[in-house]
Structure 1
Amino acid sequence: MLTYQAPLDVPINPAKGQDKPWLLLLLCCFWLIPGLVGHDPWKPDENVSMAITSYFMHNSNWTIASIAGVPQFSQAPLYFWVATLFVNALSWIGVAPHDAARLSTGLWMALGLWGVGLAGRELFGRRSGRLSVVILLGCLGLPLWGHHISPAVVLLTGFAWYVYALALAIKKPLRAGIILAGVFIVLLTGASWADALFAVLFAVFLFVFPQWRKFSYLITLITAILISIPIAALWGYSLKTHSNELFQVWWRYYAWGAFGGARSFAIGYSFGFLPAVLLWFSWPALPLAAWSVYLFRKELSQPRWQLLLSVLLAKALFVMLAIHQSEALVLPLLVPLALLATGGVDELRRGAAASFNWFSLVTLGFAAFLVWFVWMSLVAETPLALVNYFTRFNDANMPWPTWGFVFALLVTAIWGRVLFRKQPLGRRALTNWTSGLTLVIGLLVGLFQSWIDAGKSYRPVAESLSAFMQGQEGQCIDVSAIAKDPTAALVYFTELQLDAKSGNHCPLYIKQTAEKPAATPTVLWSGHRLGDQKENFSLHAK
């Protein structure tokens, strides 16, 4: 049962009659499913990811993708391969390609939650795994990346199973070796060599601790490396066979991911990025993890604390030294933080638990009220001051009624029912936080998804340009002067001949400006997203 709290002097082991794992499955479903379908690709990453997926959809060679003629090396292709398989499979039942690709993100997230749950159970005992999952779902930084078409989720999932494999290696080295081999393959083909090398080096580092200083663990590690390296190397071999020139570009400038490539390898020194992001990104896992470490400070020599603390510190150092820092790099840190927090939730003092519970109810309850209030104001078009404020960002009409409204009512009713359940305070506070966050996500998706989509989608821009170019489809358009996101959107939404390579010989080119272009004879076409006046596009002849 999600909200069970054991007495402080006995291990967490709720009675069988109180154990209701279906509640966790229900929570995961309500967190995972909303937002995966029903809208066009959005920023960040979705347009680029869909352009790459679209390339694989229309080309038999899956070695390397390109967007408007420019090869894409920023991420290994595993995520896009799986997304393309989803698109091909679900197209038979009419699912839009971007929705199908986003459903593949749901699969990766489900696998990641499963890995975190198994790691929590292995480290802290039976029924602790579900607590780890609830903590992870409650992290503020996860909803965006967990519902987007983005390869960042592969790194989170791989890291979750990586921690589980290392924890399992003490008792079941053979099974751990198989899992570890799978993790190495995922990191090498879905992330970067830097991520894979980190995983290998940290696994070797664990030999400093007596619990892992065993011959069986050595065999586990060697077996995992021997299995994974040849399989993962097939993609590099395929790239080299396909084009030695492209292989050299990848190796020299992209192979090491956030650190560059063999020729451009560099280490960053921006140590302020991680603390600034992690403080909000990992709430509430970070303070709960800190409490666990303080509470069990005399037991930190135990294997579980050694593993979690060392992997957290090592991964944090990895992020801080990366030359290309982003929120996607921070995602794997949520795994050890959620697992560390698992040990201390049941030991929260009553005052702290009550404060956390009150904060959860007030903050997220008020956020849910605001979402409902703003939606009703936009539907009723009153008060005018509020309506005019939101119209500045998006002047699309708010649809009413919709199935989204029914879904919003459902999640609100379920949340209200959860609040009136009698539960011990520790886990209840955490469950109320995660349930409240899930409620806000559900309301935003149910009530605002189509409205937000109207303002964030590049589809109207692409369709307008495509309509203008009717009869001129053979003409090449130079898109090297506009950002990568709109370029990728034009590639995905149209069949126009686009070229993003610098120095191309296309007769037409698109210009991107912060101000609306003046209507002059040189402007053949202009467009912008609905409600966005800072990103304007215009078509010109060279």
Structure 2
Amino acid sequence: MAHMQNSSFTEFPSRKPAIHVPNWALILVFIAYALPGNIGHVPWRGDDALHIGVVFSMLSEGHWLTPQIAGHPFYDWPPLTYWLGALTGKLLGWLLPLHDAIRLGNVAALTLLIYCLRYAARELYGREAASAAAMLMLGSLGLLIHAHEMQPQIVLTATLAACLQGLTLMRSAPTRGALLTGAASGAAFLAGGLPGLFLCLPLWLLNPVCSNEYRTRSFLLAYRHALWPLVLLVSLWPLALAVWQPDFLHAWWAHELAAILPHTGHLQRGKDFANLIGWFTWPLWPVVLWSLWHRRGKLRDFGHSLPLASALLALALVASTGGMRPANLLPLMPALILMASGELCRLRRGAANAFDWFGVMTFTLLGLSLWLAWSAMNFGWPAPLARNLLRLVPGFEPQWNALQLLVAITLSVAWVIANLRLPFFQLRGAVHWALGVTLAWGLAATLLMSWIDHDKSYRSTAAEIAAVIASQPEAACVAGIDLGDSQRAALHYFAHIKIAARGANCPLRLAYATGRNTLPEPGKGWESVWDLRRGRGRLAEQFALYRRVD
């Protein structure tokens, strides 16, 4: 998997011959990482069902300008993610289930992300760092779950990586780099709104600030080429809304301004926030901290200042806006991956071996645990584990197929061969982390997929709700009580049920509660006709259908 070359870094000279991961090997690992989980399962509760539901509404009802969920306007995200999902859904919906085809838009964003990170790392630190960036991206724990769900933050993160690539390209090809920088910054707005501009536009200043060489008139004039695609992409959607959907534009703009207002909620829960960042950015942050200390005298150099500035902007954004959700940390990843990729190529052999050993042991034990879980579910051994797994998901009946088992065996054998045959080289630790994450996710997506699907899918719940509603005399209108966007989207996708707003004058009302919260009641004059409880603990969910009593 390793390939020798004779070049050396300019900013990060290596003491050893440069070694990089060949493209064919990277493509194979990326396919094994990206496809399982993006195809092969129905929409899961949470963000996956929510955003697939937005695309489903776009495809089925033609709301191309105004993202909607089952007839309700959705202001949280601009449309780029949904356009991308609708495109792959249109192109591949004949070949795959619609939700899988939609999720391939997420795979396209992942492809852009890894390409841009490789290119930026190569421009900043050399060819070996390009391989390190790709492996570190695939081996990052925080990216794993969100890379396998329909997630606008992935698209926003990919556009940020493209902006970083454009800024590095400007140093050797100012015009092409400026065009890419402007287009990526505009796409960041279409993917993430005002936060996308906040993450990208301040970085434009770094080239002239960090080096006198780039304060020349000719170089500064190259930024004119960045303005055209930026202005075009930033104005395209709002102008279209102003012409055809002005009410949506006004509501979206008010929502956007409210969402970007800073707050101190995360800082007041500093320990929880630090813990979230700690596990989400593993294994990047130890290497990044060492790089900052080791390079503390050269932080004004462009190779350090660009990713550092990007990391600080992303940290300021996630620390002061939005909720404390793991997905919101994704814009931190490109900068941390770049900083870690440059330093990883210079780690001493002892540190590199420790990084490698920890990854090998972690994922070997995790892989064995996943095989044990499969054995427990299907054969009842170990018995205590089987009881615990089945108790977590009441009503689950184990099932598996030969193809999934074959894929799981292939991944496990490949992991063993990689550990036995891969010789020491500077990036072996990063390669093992990438392969280990791919192994763990691949085993979960094959051996345990039916168990995960049963717990995280609303398909059976939606079918049951649809049957109960159809049995009522007046089933045309159902109002929701505390029903979330994810539940509305899932009911629309699986059962073609559109839930009206709480205040609607409907003869039926569907109530929802999570965790240990009490189900909301509709008040006097209503009777319960059906209820359902699924899950346990803080992940428990309750549904109840009420009928008006005359």
TM-score exceeds 0.5: yes
Which residue does the alignment assign to 1:527? 532
1:470 CA displacement: 3.0
Amino acid in structure 2 at the alignment position of 1:171: S
Where 1:347 maps in the other structure, the secondary structure is coil
Which residue does the alignment assign to 2:448? 448
Q: Could you tell me whether the CA contact under 8 Å between 2:157 and 2:330 is conserved in 1?
A: yes
Distance in 2 between the 1:497 and 1:161 partners? 38
Distance in 1 between the 2:478 and 2:129 partners? 56
Question: Aligned runs of 1:337-416 on 2, under 5 Å?
Answer: 337-394=336-393, 395-416=395-416
Question: Aligned runs of 1:317-336 on 2, under 5 Å?
Answer: 317-336=316-335
Which residue does the alignment assign to 2:523? none
1:21 CA displacement: 2.4
1:5 CA displacement: 10
Amino acid in structure 2 at the alignment position of 1:463: A
* Residue 541 (1) aligns with residue 512 (2): no
1:385 CA displacement: 2.1
Which residue does the alignment assign to 1:237? 239
Amino acid in structure 2 at the alignment position of 1:483: G
Q: Could you list the runs of 5+ residues in structure 1 that have no partner in the other structure?
A: 260-264
1:480 CA displacement: 3.6
Distance in 2 between the 1:21 and 1:468 partners? 54
Distance in 1 between the 2:329 and 2:375 partners? 36
Where 2:532 maps in the other structure, the secondary structure is strand
Farther-moved stretch of structure 1 (473-482 vs 433-442)? 473-482
Distance in 1 between the 2:254 and 2:70 partners? 22
Where 2:528 maps in the other structure, the secondary structure is coil
Amino acid in structure 2 at the alignment position of 1:524: V
Farther-moved stretch of structure 1 (223-232 vs 136-145)? 223-232
* Cα distance per residue 1:408-453 (max 9 Å; x no partner): 0000111111111242253112211221121111111110012210
Q: Could you tell me whether the CA contact under 8 Å between 1:295 and 1:344 is conserved in 2?
A: no
Distance 1:323 1:60, change over 3 A: closer
Where 1:89 maps in the other structure, the secondary structure is helix
* Cα distance per residue 1:294-322 (max 9 Å; x no partner): 33344434321122222222322222222
1:530 CA displacement: 6.8
Q: Could you list the runs of 5+ residues in structure 2 that have no partner in the other structure?
A: 520-525
1:176 CA displacement: 0.7
Distance in 1 between the 2:226 and 2:71 partners? 37
Farther-moved stretch of structure 1 (60-69 vs 155-164)? 60-69
Query: Alignment identity in percent?
Result: 26
Amino acid in structure 2 at the alignment position of 1:67: I
Which residue does the alignment assign to 1:279? 278
1:401 CA displacement: 4.0
Distance in 2 between the 1:240 and 1:319 partners? 30
Which residue does the alignment assign to 2:204? 203
Distance in 1 between the 2:221 and 2:326 partners? 35
Amino acid in structure 1 at the alignment position of 2:396: A
1:68 CA displacement: 3.8
1:485 CA displacement: 1.9
User: In the alignment, which of 244, 247, 250 is matched to residue 249 of structure 2?
Assistant: 247
1:527 CA displacement: 3.0
RMSD between aligned residues: 2.6
Q: Could you tell me whether the CA contact under 8 Å between 1:4 and 1:423 is conserved in 2?
A: no
1:118 CA displacement: 0.5
Amino acid in structure 2 at the alignment position of 1:506: C
User: In the alignment, which of 13, 35, 44 is matched to residue 33 of structure 1?
Assistant: 35
Which residue does the alignment assign to 1:462? 462
Farther-moved stretch of structure 1 (235-244 vs 530-539)? 530-539
Distance 1:9 1:339, change over 3 A: closer
Amino acid in structure 2 at the alignment position of 1:387: A
Which residue does the alignment assign to 1:424? 424
Amino acid in structure 2 at the alignment position of 1:384: A
Distance in 2 between the 1:523 and 1:2 partners? 64
Distance in 2 between the 1:31 and 1:200 partners? 32
The number of aligned residues is: 529
Distance 1:78 1:242, change over 3 A: same
TM-score under structure 1 length normalisation: 0.91
Which residue does the alignment assign to 1:262? none
Amino acid in structure 2 at the alignment position of 1:292: S
